[in-house]
């Protein structure tokens, strides 16, 4: 069966783990052609080995604007055009406000905000008319989590930028919408510095939410799938909250 993503070319940033990698699996199963990025060559290689389908890996650190421009130049050189762009690469480096370092602030903003902005800008010449951009935001935009100030601000900053871009880029057929996951079991918690016991306790605390459990990438994929496909052509600047009711 041919799906609406059959033969669509989609670029996913940060697809070496978690939601990005799971989305890559799902889109390939529907016949999409993918370009995936990662900041680490060996993890990128490992991701491509796991994926079954038409995948081009590109080493590109979301915090490095020169690398972003090189990636866009490579795509243009190879005459690759995109029907979709999933701005997924992101980090969560929690820090109590009083102790938050300038390095923590700037690295979070560079990866979660500046990176997506300049990735989209650099890839404008590659984006088809029409094309869909999906930003992986966070429930943290609207629900306060202690120690997540800069994380929340980085996601809200891109959402604010996207509102303007939905006007500026409309004539090029580009639309931008966001998915806001709630707490989802991925590597992000360990990368945030939590040990296994803390992660398990955190996940168990979610048993009291309406959905009754921590979310998994499989819970997030259908919304990404919808927003990246032509089925959502009428949406501009929409936010799909997938938090299992945590924010109620």
Ligand X SMILES: NC(=O)c1ccc[n+]([C@@H]2O[C@H](COP(=O)([O-])OP(=O)(O)OC[C@H]3O[C@@H](n4cnc5c(N)ncnc54)[C@H](OP(=O)(O)O)[C@@H]3O)[C@@H](O)[C@H]2O)c1
Site track 43-82 with ligand X (rule: CB under 6 A), x = hit: x-----------------xxx-------------------
Exposure b/e, 46-61, CB count within 10 A at least 16 = b: ebbeebeeebbbbbbb
C-beta closer to ligand X: residue 68 or 165:
68
136 lines the binding site for ligand X (CB under 6 A): yes
Site track 88-127 with ligand X (rule: CB under 6 A), x = hit: xxxxx------------------x----------------
149 lines the binding site for ligand X (CB under 6 A): no
Spatial separation of the C-alpha atoms in residues 62 and 226, rounded to whole Å:
24
Minimal distance, residue 138 CB to ligand X, in Å: 4
| 6 Cβ neighbours under 8 A, 6+ residues apart | 30, 31, 32
Minimal distance, residue 139 CB to ligand X, in Å: 6
157 lines the binding site for ligand X (CB under 6 A): no
Cβ atoms of residues 12 and 57 within 8 Å: no
Taking CB under 6 A as the binding criterion, the range among 97-105, 183-191, 197-205, 229-237 that sits at the site for ligand X is 183-191
Minimal distance, residue 157 CB to ligand X, in Å: 13
Strand order in the sheet with 55-59: 55-59, 33-38, 9-12, 82-87, 127-136, 174-181, 239-242
Spatial separation of the C-alpha atoms in residues 91 and 187, rounded to whole Å:
10
Site track 8-47 with ligand X (rule: CB under 6 A), x = hit: ------xxxxxxx----------------xxxx--x----
Minimal distance, residue 118 CB to ligand X, in Å: 12
Spatial separation of the C-alpha atoms in residues 120 and 12, rounded to whole Å:
12
- Supply angle C-alpha 145, 240, 2, rounded to 5: 140
Which residue ranges make up the site for ligand X (CB under 6 A)? 14-20, 37-40, 43, 61-63, 88-92, 111, 136, 138, 181, 183-184, 186-188, 191
């Amino acid at each position: 069966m041919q799906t609406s993503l059959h033969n669509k070319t989609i670029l996913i940033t940060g697809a070496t783990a978690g939601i990005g990698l799971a989305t890559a699996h799902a889109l390939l199963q529907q016949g999409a052609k993918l370009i995936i990025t990662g900041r680490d060559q060996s993890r990128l290689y490992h991701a491509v080995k796991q994926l079954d389908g038409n995948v081009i890996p590109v080493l590109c650190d979301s915090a490095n604007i020169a690398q972003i421009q090189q990636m866009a130049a490579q795509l243009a050189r190879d005459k690759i055009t995109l029907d979709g762009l999933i701005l997924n690469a992101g980090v969560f480096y929690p820090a109590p406000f009083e102790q938050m370092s300038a390095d923590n602030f700037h690295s979070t903003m560079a990866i979660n905000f500046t990176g997506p902005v300049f990735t989209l800008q650099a890839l404008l010449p590659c984006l088809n008319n029409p094309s869909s951009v999906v930003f992986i935001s966070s429930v943290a935009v609207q629900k306060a989590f202690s120690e997540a100030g800069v994380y929340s601000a980085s996601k809200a900053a891109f959402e604010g930028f996207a509102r303007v871009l939905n006007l500026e880029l409309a004539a090029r057929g580009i639309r931008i919408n966001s998915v806001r996951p709630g707490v989802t079991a991925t590597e992000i918690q360990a990368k945030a510095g939590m040990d296994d016991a803390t992660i398990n306790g955190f996940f168990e605390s979610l048993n009291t939410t309406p959905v009754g459990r921590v979310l998994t990438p499989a819970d997030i994929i259908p919304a990404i799938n919808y927003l990246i496909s032509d089925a959502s052509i009428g949406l501009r600047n929409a936010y799909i909250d997938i938090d299992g009711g945590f924010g109620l």
